[in-house]
Amino acid sequence: MSFSPRDFRDCLGQFATGVAVVTARANNGTKAGITINSFASVSLEPALVLFSVDRRAATHELFAGDCNRFCINILTQGQQPLSELFSSPVQDRWEDVLFEDDGHGVPKLVGSLATFSCKRHAIHDGGDHSIIVGQVKDIGLGKTGDPLLYYGGRYHSIEDIPSGNS
């Protein structure tokens, strides 16, 4: 490899993304969620989307294991605290979180910009991540508002994305 992991991460960070929380419910009823920015659309017909989950993440076992339903919640700028919550080692991430059932037993975050209720379609090897492909069964267009953005390893609002590399 002709580059360091740090340089690789810095280059990846030049790709500005939105932020989502993927939520699910384990067979024993426990709610789970993880902040991701690896969301991508895959196919229109059938409707497929994907995200990748780190093999070291506590939720990996769920998303790549026995849980075959999940909901991808696209966050608004105002939901940055939820992004922080679902990306930090908090004992009970759900204590103060407003959610409702997505109609398939999966908790859906109230106030999201859009939601994709998915049935797992495929799992692919993605190196130290697993690539989870979901078939979209239901969608929700939620609040109007600005998306939460992630760029250069930091959160941004849509107005403050700088131009150039400075």
Ligand X SMILES: Cc1cc2nc3c(=O)[nH]c(=O)nc-3n(C[C@H](O)[C@H](O)[C@H](O)COP(=O)(O)O)c2cc1C
Q: Which residues make up the interface to ligand X (CB under 6 A)? A: 19, 34-38, 51-54, 57-59, 83, 87-88, 150
By C-beta, is 58 or 103 nearer to ligand X?
58
61, containing H or E segment: helix 60-63
By C-beta, is 13 or 140 nearer to ligand X?
13
Least Å distance, CB 95 to ligand X, is 15
Say how far apart CA 150 and CA 73 lie, in whole Å: 15
Least Å distance, CB 130 to ligand X, is 9
Least Å distance, CB 131 to ligand X, is 10
By C-beta, is 54 or 138 nearer to ligand X?
54
By C-beta, is 70 or 150 nearer to ligand X?
150
CA 119 from centre of chain? 15
Least Å distance, CB 110 to ligand X, is 20
Q: Strand, coil or helix: what is 98?
A: coil
Least Å distance, CB 45 to ligand X, is 25
Structure tokens at 17: 């993304």
Are 24 and 32 a contacting pair, CB within 8 Å? yes
Pick from 11, 37, 19: nearest CA to 157: 19
By C-beta, is 8 or 103 nearer to ligand X?
8
Say how far apart CA 47 and CA 146 lie, in whole Å: 24
